Amino acid sequence: MSVDVATPARTAPEILSWSRDLVEPELRSATARLSESVKPPTYHHFGWTDGGGSGKVLRPAMALLSAEAVGSAPEPALPAAVTVELVHNFSLLHDDVVDGDATRRHRATVWKVFGVGTAILAGDALLALAAELLAERPAQLRILMIAVADLIEGQCADLRFEDRDDVDVAECRDMAKGKTAALLGASCAMGAVAGGGGREQIRQLRSFGEEIGLAFQFVDDLLGIWGEQAVTGKPVYSDLRNRKKSLPVVAALRSGTREGRQLAQLYGKPDDLTSPELARAAELVEGAGGRRWAQEQADQLLEKALSRLHAAVPRPRAEAELTALARLVARRDR
Amino acid sequence: MSVDVATPARTAPEILSWSRDLVEPELRSATARLSESVKPPTYHHFGWTDGGGSGKVLRPAMALLSAEAVGSAPEPALPAAVTVELVHNFSLLHDDVVDGDATRRHRATVWKVFGVGTAILAGDALLALAAELLAERPAQLRILMIAVADLIEGQCADLRFEDRDDVDVAECRDMAKGKTAALLGASCAMGAVAGGGGREQIRQLRSFGEEIGLAFQFVDDLLGIWGEQAVTGKPVYSDLRNRKKSLPVVAALRSGTREGRQLAQLYGKPDDLTSPELARAAELVEGAGGRRWAQEQADQLLEKALSRLHAAVPRPRAEAELTALARLVARRDR
């Protein structure tokens, strides 16, 4: 891959830091428009009340680099960057209520601190703000709102899976496409639209984002079992504790192995799982091949994503940097 | 008021029926775009699964007539009509979760039937759909999303009031402005924009809608205490049961009367109120003057609304019909 000699490509941490510096002031000025009651829960959620910064701002970085990939400066993609981040956080606020998660980014979740009603309303406010900010950008608005619909469908499927014992890997992948791939695909597509990219470039960059999003979900599911609390900000084994039908778990349950059957028994227990049972469940997912399979899937999705990216005929430096981000996303467990 | 002789103005029930006939097919085709998981809860909410029709579609009627008021046919206001109805129902779905209300329109609420998670997600989907449908209409989108922000602020204020004993009537009115007036104002403003109205017409029609919205809230609060179950679809005394700080209740609590103080004692009880206590609470609100005050406020708001409407220099037939709707809204308790 050839990289512009004059301005060498940056590393993923450098890109994320650059993206945060560009996006955070815009995000702060956008959220300053929120009504007074909605600000405290939103600022808490973004980590602004205890002096911390917002999260990784991965989606904004994808939007900004996608604009660069089609030959534009990053600035025209700032509205895209801000609104994908608003929508991402709208969905986190509501997901935490829906899933009953009490911790996020090492902090108590908004519903836990401010109550369920306020968390729902704060999420609503972020979604409405994102739509308002895109009023003059119909193509981007449409891409984003369709991604929201996909995201919701993924979350609904996730909810239904909790009550089912027969979820298969394909359904689980479809669900992940909605929950994670749609918004990352939209981030890239909106950036490419904002940068004036051609139809085929937009299509390939969207596809790149979707594949990376799916890889992200595989890695997220691995972290949901084996991630260190210091990294994830969640308790260890948190997905097993909630008996989540995550990708490695479903692969293990459907593996036809002895470990898979033992895992099914543990998941079927009416009581909360004890600490030794949680550790045992993690061993069983691994023994049934769920862990290795998920890692392989993430690797394959990364390769597929990079070939989509290349097919968009991107500017070399932007390609190198999107590749660096993609590798970070698909390999953050290792 | 002069009315076009060739096409006489219709009565409020005729207008609502006409509006429903125009809007419901559009609403059905819009909601057909919702994802599969979101359709069952949404269709249940709209009353389409048990053969019933959607609600009164008051807001769409206001949008359609506002377009006519500025000299347009009603059709250009159909996107406004559909999206205000989608947003209204988004807010009902979430409010029922936030308030824990188990019954709406004589049916179990969505969270009660499908679970809290699904109700939150279905509401989200309606809001995103409304934004998507207005992608090519930036002025209307902006009006609607700002109304959503006001609506959320009103609902947040409502939530905070539950924990406070010192809410005054002005705060309560401000809350009602957000909760009800904002969306009715937006309905009229969007209709006027869609119909090509002038800036001053849009401003006056928005103001008309807001005053009517506030009158609506006063009447709604009266119905929340004295409404027949057959009319409201909610249990009798439902607001008193939930110890809601509704407008007549706050007026009574702040009246400085003996009845007001007795009501405060009842509202301060830790246990659920018994049936005799509920009946007594209703008597105390009335005895403290809360009922009469709320009725007078609704009447004054109606007069103010009609003067705003007239200031918009509307087509006479549309003025007569908006007046008929306004009277219906502001007097449905009597």
Q: Phi/psi of residue B268, each to 5°?
A: -85, -5
State pLDDT tens for residues A21-37: 999 999 999 999 999 99
In order along its 334 residues, chain B shows pLDDT tens digits of 444 556 889 999 999 999 999 999 999 999 999 999 999 999 999 988 876 655 678 999 999 999 999 999 999 999 999 999 999 999 999 999 998 888 887 889 999 999 999 999 999 999 999 999 999 999 999 999 999 999 999 999 988 887 787 889 999 999 999 989 999 999 999 999 999 999 999 999 999 999 999 999 999 999 989 987 766 667 788 889 888 889 999 999 999 999 999 999 999 888 999 999 999 999 999 999 999 999 999 999 999 999 999 999 999 999 999 999 999 988 764 4
For residue B257, what pLDDT is reported? 96
What is the model's pLDDT at position B200? 98
Amino acid B30: pLDDT: 97
What's the pLDDT at A1? Answer: 44
CA distances from A49 to A25, A39, A52, A93, A231 (A): 15, 10, 7, 16, 21
Using CA atoms, how far residue A161 sits from A155, A156, A157, B40, in Å, is 10, 9, 6, 17
User: Which residues of chain A make contact with B190, given a CB cutoff of 8 A?
Assistant: none
Percent of chain A with pLDDT over 70: 94
B64, B317 in Cβ contact below 8 A?
A: no
Cβ atoms of A159 and A98 within 8 Å: the answer is yes
Mutate one of B31, B33, B34, B35 to test the A interface: name it (highest A CB count within 10 A).
Answer: B35
Contact B145 A128 (CB under 8 A): yes
- B-chain residues within 8 Å CB-CB of A139? 135
CA A296 to chain centre: 19
Using an 8 Å Cβ cutoff, are A171 and A43 in contact?
no
Mark A176-206 as b/e (b = at least 16 C-beta within 10 Å): bbbbbbbbbbbbbbbbbbbbebeeebbbbbb
Q: What is the pLDDT of residue A65?
A: 98
Rounded to an integer, what distance in angstroms lies between the CA atom of residue B330 and that of residue A236?
A: 57
Name the helix (H) or strand (E) containing A108: strand A107-108
Q: What dihedral angle (degrees, nearest 10) is formed by the CA atoms of B108, B113, B119, B123?
A: -50
pLDDT computed for residue A167 by the predictor: 87
Cα–Cα dist B131/B128, whole Å: 5
CA–CA distance, B240 with B217 (Å, rounded to integer): 16
Q: Can you say whether residue B278 is alpha, beta or left, with left for phi > 0 and alpha for psi between -120 and 50 degrees?
A: alpha
- For B214-238, what is each residue's pLDDT tens digit? 999 999 999 989 987 766 667 788 8
Q: Which of A34, A35, A94 is closest, CB to CB, to B120?
A: A94
Tokens of B90: 């988004």
pLDDT at A51: 65
pLDDT at A3: 47
Which helix (H) or strand (E) segment holds residue B108: the answer is: strand B107-108
CA A247, chain centre distance (Å): 15
Chain B residues whose C-beta sits inside 8 Å of any chain A C-beta: 33-38, 90, 94, 97-99, 115-118, 120-121, 123-125, 127-129, 131-132, 135-136, 138-139, 141-142, 145-146, 148-150, 152-153, 155-157, 159-160
Residues 6+ apart with CB under 8 A from B161: B167, B171, B172, B175, B245
Q: Which of B121, B140, B163 to mutate to test the interface with A (most CBs of A within 10 A)?
A: B121
Domains with residue ranges and CATH for chain A: 12-331 (1.10.600.10)
Residues in chain A, overall count: 334
Q: Smallest Cα–Cα separation from B139: which of A193, A132, A33?
A: A132
In order of A41, A120, B236, the CA distances from B118 in angstroms are 22, 13, 28
Per-residue pLDDT of chain A (334 residues; tens, 9 = 90+): 444 556 889 999 999 999 999 999 999 999 999 999 999 999 999 988 876 655 678 999 999 999 999 999 999 999 999 999 999 999 999 999 998 888 887 889 999 999 999 999 999 999 999 999 999 999 999 999 999 999 999 999 988 887 787 889 999 999 999 989 999 999 999 999 999 999 999 999 999 999 999 999 999 999 989 987 766 667 788 889 888 889 999 999 999 999 999 999 999 888 999 999 999 999 999 999 999 999 999 999 999 999 999 999 999 999 999 999 999 988 764 5
Residues A116/B145/B21/B332 CA torsion (nearest 10 deg): 60
CB-CB contact of A86 with A130 (8 Å): yes
Which residues of chain A make contact with B100, given a CB cutoff of 8 A? none
- Residue B199 CB: number of other CB atoms within 10 A? 9
DSSP state of B104: E
Which of B302, B292, B289, B291 has the alpha carbon at shortest distance from B331?
B302
Helix (H, G, I), strand (E, B) or coil at A35: coil
Contact between A9 and A317 (Cβ < 8 Å): yes
Q: Which residues of A touch B (CB under 8 A)?
A: 33-38, 90, 94, 97-99, 115-118, 120-121, 123-125, 127-129, 131-132, 135-136, 138-139, 141-142, 145-146, 148-150, 152-153, 155-157, 159-160
Taking contacts as CB-CB distances below 8 angstroms, the residues of chain B near A38 are 149, 152-153, 156
**Cα Dmax for chain B:** 62
